[in-house]
């Protein structure tokens, strides 16, 4: 919607297709905040933000993209403020900012207050603000239309998409000078996830089927504080406001692991420490399988003002009054760092011959489905909402510039809808086979078991075989109810074809990366004098590219050169 706003305002015809009503996208669930070095509450500047993001990414992030994002951040946040975003305020009227994991002042010295927040409903407020601005600019929404496949012509340019109108079950071709994918993450390839049920990685599936590689899919972020047993997220904003993680002995164990940042170390780090506590028998509860998040010392007034949704979540999903007692939490799948490779204009780029980043004409990707590579091997909290704003706007501007130059549409190829029609025809003609939800369930089980917080080489190798076996079953999914109108079974079956692409990309890329980096932590590649933290820059300071066809892998270098500032050379990460 940030991109479409640029287009609509420039007077272009823009169609936004969405599986759900726009304000129900997963962004609505974002709680904590948007990162920007406004310096409203403590000294800050974009260089600190840049440093934190590079370090947070375990040096896998591209430094040109990271510089671009951190420099643009204040601008896009103020713009959002002027669009009417109801940020929390300081007494002097400026935007309220809270501390967040991995965000520091003076290059790691102390936590900084950088997360611009609207209570713990930041994503909700942002999504509504952008929707209203789009309505004002007369963006055309196609609500409950599911995009199915990209249309590429003989030259490989993208000239449109096929889509299913859910209400009628009709398939349509939408022709466009440009297609921008902003389809969100694939968090539903895992069994325990903070993600919405619609996060099935459709854009990844569309790209993969159209021959476009997926980048860095081995990197999945576990959020330290999912409600144990429920998966629902408790924002890092809780710890930003002062909440503390404790083990069964009541000990604030993060002090031992991260003496400077403590509970506000980055997510991959905190998740591993929690797992370590549980493994060493200091977990809480009858099965010693979780730790607790203690907010009782914050006081009811602060909690109800700054974290009202967290209070409700505690009540509804854990039967805990967080003002009075600590709440059980476990690391839970939260965010995909990888995705469709793009440059800083949002243009999708692929290797071709000696060129690492050849532009695919007519195709852009932005947001969680994209990998411009600002998050590298581990994303810092609040940098994703920022990523949407910065690169949504940049892509929008770039499209406006190019679309205004291109006067006419390219011709649609004769086989534009063939792939889609073949997929649907198979479902229509199936008379026996498995239910989509059973296959999806096994994808999730397999991924949870073989690509969790702690990975081993053996388990990942087995995982590759296991997920490839499940993939074979996707082709025999059957549709018992073949009715057209709002047939959610058909939609689910189509979604499974996207889930499996994301799952195979993840498993294959993970098993091949024989080091530990960021969220990809493998027991076999532990801390050693030669490879501190198990990270091997000599062989693995590079991006993975996974091609669906033949499940082939390729690699491309990480860009360590920022646009204007000095590069931050790889160092050992400690907090």
Ligand X SMILES: Cc1cc2nc3c(=O)[nH]c(=O)nc-3n(C[C@H](O)[C@H](O)[C@H](O)COP(=O)(O)OP(=O)(O)OC[C@H]3O[C@@H](n4cnc5c(N)ncnc54)[C@H](O)[C@@H]3O)c2cc1C
Q: Which residue number, 5 or 385, has a Cβ lying nearer to ligand X?
A: 385
Contact between 26 and ligand X per CB under 6 A: yes
Which range binds ligand X by CB under 6 A, 25-33, 273-281, 297-305, 515-523?
25-33
CB of 491 to ligand X, least distance (A): 9
Dist. CA 252–CA 401, nearest whole Å: 53
In the range 340-369, which residues lie near ligand X by CB under 6 A? Answer: 367-369
CB of 514 to ligand X, least distance (A): 28
Active site residue 267: yes
Task: Lay out the sheet containing 291-294: strands in order across.
Answer: 220-227, 327-336, 291-294, 244-246
CB atoms within 10 A of CB 431: 7
CB of 459 to ligand X, least distance (A): 25
Of 6, 37, 97, 183, the one binding ligand X (CB under 6 A) is: 183
Which of 71, 114, 246, 267 is catalytic? The answer is 267
Q: Which residue number, 151 or 460, has a Cβ lying nearer to ligand X?
A: 151
Identify which of 162, 161, 197 has the alpha carbon closest to the alpha carbon of residue 25: 197
CB of 203 to ligand X, least distance (A): 6
Dist. CA 563–CA 149, nearest whole Å: 35
Contact between 390 and ligand X per CB under 6 A: no
Of 5, 8, 14, 25, the one binding ligand X (CB under 6 A) is: 25
Q: Helix, strand, coil: what percent of the chain each, to 5?
A: 40, 20, 40
For ligand X, what does the binding mask look like between residues 110 and 129, x meaning CB under 6 A? ------------xx------
Of 7, 30, 166, 522, the one binding ligand X (CB under 6 A) is: 30
Q: What are the φ/ψ torsions at residue 68 (nearest 5 degrees)?
A: -55, -45
Of 53, 104, 195, 506, the one binding ligand X (CB under 6 A) is: 195
Query: Which two structure tokens, joined as six digits, stand for 270?
Result: 């905190």
Query: Which two structure tokens, joined as six digits, stand for 348?
Result: 């999708």
Which range binds ligand X by CB under 6 A, 12-20, 415-423, 462-470, 542-550?
12-20
Contact between 32 and ligand X per CB under 6 A: yes
CB of 206 to ligand X, least distance (A): 7
Of 5, 6, 8, 18, the one binding ligand X (CB under 6 A) is: 18
Identify which of 131, 124, 129, 126 has the alpha carbon closest to the alpha carbon of residue 28: 124
Report whether 35 contacts 379 (CB < 8 A): no
In the range 202-221, which residues lie near ligand X by CB under 6 A? Answer: 202
Residue 540 bridge partners (DSSP) = none
Give the contacts of 484 (CB within 8 A, at least 6 positions apart).
168, 169, 170
Contact between 76 and ligand X per CB under 6 A: no
- Start-end of H helices in 59-121: 63-83
Which range binds ligand X by CB under 6 A, 31-39, 248-256, 275-283, 309-317?
31-39
Q: Which residue number, 198 or 212, has a Cβ lying nearer to ligand X?
A: 198
Give the contacts of 57 (CB within 8 A, at least 6 positions apart).
66, 373, 374, 375, 376, 377, 378, 379, 518
Query: Which two structure tokens, joined as six digits, stand for 184?
Result: 């969100």
For ligand X, what does the binding mask look like between residues 142 and 171, x meaning CB under 6 A? ----xx------------------------
Dist. CA 553–CA 339, nearest whole Å: 14
- Start-end of H helices in 325-413: 383-405
The residues that touch ligand X, with contacts defined as CB under 6 A, are: 17-20, 22, 25-27, 29-33, 122-123, 146-147, 182-185, 194-195, 198-199, 202, 233, 235, 335, 367-369, 381-385, 388
Catalytic residues: 267
């Amino acid at each position: 919607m940030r991109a479409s706003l640029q287009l609509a305002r420039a007077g272009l015809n823009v169609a936004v297709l969405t599986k759900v009503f726009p304000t129900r996208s997963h962004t609505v669930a974002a709680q904590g905040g948007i990162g920007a070095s406004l310096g409203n509450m403590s000294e800050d500047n974009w260089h600190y933000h840049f440093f934190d993001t590079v370090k947070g990414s375990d040096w896998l992030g591209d430094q040109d993209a990271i510089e671009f994002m951190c420099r643009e951040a204040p601008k896009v946040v103020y713009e959002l403020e002027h669009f009417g975003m109801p940020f929390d305020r300081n007494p002097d009227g400026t935007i309220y900012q809270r501390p967040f994991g991995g965000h520091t002042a003076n290059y790691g010295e102390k936590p900084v207050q950088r997360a611009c927040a609207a209570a713990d409903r930041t994503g909700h407020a942002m999504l509504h603000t952008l929707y209203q601005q789009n309505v004002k600019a007369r963006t055309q929404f196609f609500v409950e239309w599911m995009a199915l496949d990209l249309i590429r012509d003989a030259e490989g340019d993208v000239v449109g998409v096929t889509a299913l109108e859910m209400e009628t079950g009709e398939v349509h071709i939408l022709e466009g000078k440009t297609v921008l994918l902003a389809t969100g993450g694939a968090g539903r390839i895992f069994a325990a996830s903070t993600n919405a049920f619609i996060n099935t990685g459709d854009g990844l599936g569309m790209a993969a089927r159209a021959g476009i590689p997926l980048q860095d899919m081995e990197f999945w972020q576990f959020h330290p504080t999912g409600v144990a047993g429920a998966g629902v997220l408790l924002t890092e904003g809780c710890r930003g406001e002062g909440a503390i993680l404790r083990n069964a002995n009541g000990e604030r164990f993060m002090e031992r692991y991260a003496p400077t940042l403590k509970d506000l170390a980055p997510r991959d780090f905190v998740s591993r420490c929690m797992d370590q506590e549980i493994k060493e028998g200091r977990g809480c509860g009858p099965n010693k399988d979780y730790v607790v998040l203690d907010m009782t010392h914050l006081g009811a007034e602060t909690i109800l003002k700054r974290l009202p949704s967290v209070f409700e979540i505690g009540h509804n999903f854990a039967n805990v009054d967080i003002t009075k007692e600590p709440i059980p939490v476990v690391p839970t799948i939260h965010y995909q760092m990888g995705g469709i490779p793009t440059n800083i204009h949002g243009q999708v780029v692929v290797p071709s011959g000696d060129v690492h980043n050849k532009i695919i004409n007519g195709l852009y990707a932005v947001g969680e489905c994209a990998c411009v590579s600002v998050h590298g091997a581990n994303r810092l909290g609040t940098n994703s909402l920022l990523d949407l704003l910065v690169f949504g706007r940049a892509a929008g501007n770039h499209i406006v510039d190019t679309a205004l130059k291109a006067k006419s549409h390219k011709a649609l190829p004769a086989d534009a809808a063939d792939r889609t029609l073949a997929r649907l025809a198979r479902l229509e003609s199936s008379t026996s086979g498995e239910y989509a939800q059973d296959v999806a369930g096994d994808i999730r089980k397999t991924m949870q078991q073989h690509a969790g917080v702690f990975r081993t080489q053996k388990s990942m190798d087995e995982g590759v075989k296991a997920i490839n076996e499940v993939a074979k079953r996707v082709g025999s999914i059957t549709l018992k109810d073949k009715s057209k109108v709002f047939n959610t079974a058909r939609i689910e079956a189509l979604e499974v074809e996207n889930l499996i692409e994301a799952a195979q990309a993840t498993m294959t890329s993970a098993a091949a990366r024989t080091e530990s980096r960021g969220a990809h932590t493998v027991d076999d590649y532990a801390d050693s004098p030669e490879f501190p933290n198990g990270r091997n820059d000599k062989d693995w300071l590079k991006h993975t590219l996974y091609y669906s066809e033949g499940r082939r892998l390729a690699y491309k270098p990480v860009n360590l050169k920022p646009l204007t500032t000095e590069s931050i050379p790889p160092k050992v990460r400690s907090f």
